[in-house]
Amino acid sequence: MMRARLVVLALISALLSGCGGGGGPRPGSILDQRTVIVSPQQDQTVQLGEAKVTIQKGTFNASIPVTVSQLVPYQPAQPNFQPVYSGLSISCPDTPQRTITATYSMPTGAQGLLAVAYENGQPIGAFPVTTSSGEARVLIEPSMVTKSRGGVLVTLMLGVLGVVNSPDNETNLVLIAGSGRGRTLIFVHGLLQGAADMQETAMVAKNLGGYESVYVLRYDYRRPFADVGAELANLLSFHLFSDPKQVDLVGYSKGGLVVRHCLEAMGQTKPVRRAILLACPNTGCRISLAALYGTLALDYLSSKKALPFLNWGESCLDELMPGSNQLNSLNTFQHHQNGDVDYWLFAGDTDTVVSQSSAWGTGTPIDDFTNGVLWRKLLTQTGHLSADSTGAIKQVYAALTSTQTNGLQISYDSNPLEASGWWGSWTSTETIVNSTGQRITIESLLTEMYDRQGQWWGNYWYDPYCPPGEFFPHERADWGLILDPSESETLSLGYYPDEDGTPLSSAPANKQALTAHQTVLATGEDGTIYKTSKDLLLTYNGASPAPPHTRKGKVAFGKPLAIRRLR
């Protein structure tokens, strides 16, 4: 049986003024070579040219020959990536079981070293690099070696990518279409991307979704997702998206975590209708940190982007690993506001970076982080690097059409612009009408309360089993009411400024004018989901409530206004 010969070729390079990359002899040709027998019982060090190769004991299961060669360096396609050392190859007949380390003296002025794996002159990935005490160390990870296309020639190039364009170092919303008002789409990019990378896909989404305005969030992908998520929450407030449910947020990869932090930790849910997460690592990446680094490097070099690459071990990579403190905090955050936001979690069926379970948030309480509907969908023929492509977006918007708003209505027979004399509270007669043309089941009725300043105050669920005169629960309550076509259901509700039944005349000023944002969720016989919302204004002594908005950061909550069914 013929055994596959594994060859790892390491090539040092850096972006230094005046440095050349060889020339003359053909790139990859041998300048010097040594072969040693490596025992599984002891460490082995081989010095050749500028490099020292260290093979730990236990790297191989038996004593085998390992050949180390000094080579003429390859010239990469990127003009801002130039070699300064000759190459280094490590050839052996078996796959290593432990990390092999190639150590070099640190090139003068070199920072942000990048180790790129090459095959036949083409980049196919990267190996991690560490730097300390004047040395650059290429860590040849076994998990990446085994992915070297069946043991054919692999070229490893260590160097520095020059920065032609600066990253998006200021966080802001960039308007790329429309007036900035009306139904709005906001795209949030992932690692090694800028706002410009999202424009083509965002414009396709605009046409498919019928949006009036499209923004892209500009931010530095090297910053923690929690910091960017907090800034996105502030931007939503700053741009005065005051109408309820006018914004759809689309987050790709790390951008999905930015969106979640904005909604869940910062509570900026009021203007947001849908959160669409594409290949989002909700529980982390499925591959090792080294493999993630290699995958990103391949995409980076293949696209020839002129943005700064990530240093090995930066926190923006660590936070994407399973069990990271940042992900644990996001997935266990306990807050008071669960907004009415529909979550659409999309996974790629061929994604080797983020597993389906991670993209779907399996094993996390993400279902409890929103009072909206949560959907989990699979994108066919889609890998991680194509989950933000125009083809993937077309699949996304085909799935979104499964939710309908037409045919389900909420009407108020009496909108209590002023409080009645009934216990100094507001009363309202509300009617839900089925105009869908089919029998439907009313799943739930949710009321989000906002005080006179527009600050979120509490959530209440209509409970048909709650005795008349009792307060409705804070936790989700299922209704299960069946309505035939054209049939309706009328409810008589009373609203109080707090759960103690305090008369409005004695209530604090910020509770004497309120907004009730009500959402009805229903399912048709054919499985169609229907959802509709409407605002109910509650005023007193001529005072009207400000447009509702959501909180920023953690705030203290008092007793919320209460809703009860009238006797």
In tens, the pLDDT along 317-347 reads 889 999 999 999 999 866 655 678 889 999 9
Q: What distance lies between CA 237 and its chain's CA centroid?
A: 20
Q: For residue 193, what pLDDT band results from cuts at 50, 70 and 90?
A: confident
pLDDT, tens only, 37-64: 999 999 999 998 888 899 999 998 999 8
According to the model, what pLDDT value does residue 284 have? Answer: 95
According to the model, what pLDDT value does residue 81 have? Answer: 56
Which residue, among 107, 102, 92, has the nearest Cα to 129 in the 3D structure?
Answer: 102
CA distance 543 to 535: 17
Is pLDDT larger for residue 477 or for residue 405? 477
Print burial letters for 23-49: b (CB count within 10 Å at least 16), e (below 16).
Answer: eeeebbeeeeeeeeebeeeeebebebb
According to the model, what pLDDT value does residue 308 have? Answer: 63
Q: State residue 445 phi and psi, 5-degree precision.
A: -130, 115
Which residues are 166's β-sheet partners? none
Report whether 340 contacts 270 (CB < 8 A): no
Q: State residue 117 phi and psi, 5-degree precision.
A: -85, 130
Is pLDDT larger for residue 118 or for residue 225? 225
Q: What distance lies between CA 20 and its chain's CA centroid?
A: 41
Judged by DSSP in three states, 134 sits in: coil
Report whether 308 contacts 163 (CB < 8 A): yes
Judged by DSSP in three states, 3 sits in: coil
Question: Would the pLDDT of 453 be above 60?
Answer: yes
According to the model, what pLDDT value does residue 331 have? Answer: 93
Query: For a pLDDT cut of 70, what percent of the chain falls above it?
Result: 75
According to the model, what pLDDT value does residue 8 have? Answer: 44
Question: Would the pLDDT of 122 be above 60?
Answer: yes
Which residues neighbour 42 within 8 Å (Cβ) at sequence distance 6 or greater? 57
pLDDT, tens only, 199-242: 899 999 999 999 999 999 999 888 999 999 999 999 988 776 66
CATH among 2.40.10.10, 3.10.450.50, 3.40.605.10, 2.60.40.10 for 408-565: 2.60.40.10
Which residues of the chain does CATH 3.40.50.1820 include?
172-285+320-401
Looking up tokens 């705030």 gives 555
pLDDT, tens only, 375-433: 899 999 999 989 999 999 999 998 887 665 567 777 766 555 555 544 457 888 888 99
Alpha-carbon radius of gyration of the chain: 30
Give this prediction's pTM. 0.72
pLDDT, tens only, 25-34: 777 788 889 9
Q: State residue 228 phi and psi, 5-degree precision.
A: -70, -40
According to the model, what pLDDT value does residue 76 have? Answer: 59
According to the model, what pLDDT value does residue 343 have? Answer: 93
Mean pLDDT, range 126-146, rounded to an integer = 77
Which residue, among 287, 360, 285, has the nearest Cα to 324 in the 3D structure?
Answer: 285
Greatest alpha-carbon span in the chain: 97
CATH homologous superfamily of 172-285+320-401: Alpha/Beta hydrolase fold, catalytic domain (3.40.50.1820)
| Pair of tokens at residue 95 | 């796959």
Mean pLDDT score of the chain, rounded to an integer?
79
Q: For residue 149, what pLDDT band results from cuts at 50, 70 and 90?
A: very low
What does DSSP say about strands 272-278 and 342-348: parallel, antiparallel, or unpaired? Answer: parallel
According to the model, what pLDDT value does residue 153 have? Answer: 42
Q: List the single range of 138-152, 184-198, 459-473, 541-555 with lowest mean pLDDT.
A: 541-555
Question: Would the pLDDT of 2 be above 50?
Answer: no
Q: For residue 278, what pLDDT band results from cuts at 50, 70 and 90?
A: very high
Which residues of the chain does CATH 2.60.40.10 include?
408-565
Is 242 buried (19+), middle (13-18) or exposed (0-12) by CB count in 10 A? middle
**Torsion-angle region of 186 (φ positive above 0: left; ψ -120 to 50: alpha; else: beta):** beta
Looking up tokens 């209530």 gives 507
According to the model, what pLDDT value does residue 373 have? Answer: 80
Element counts in the chain: helices (H) and strands (E): 9, 29
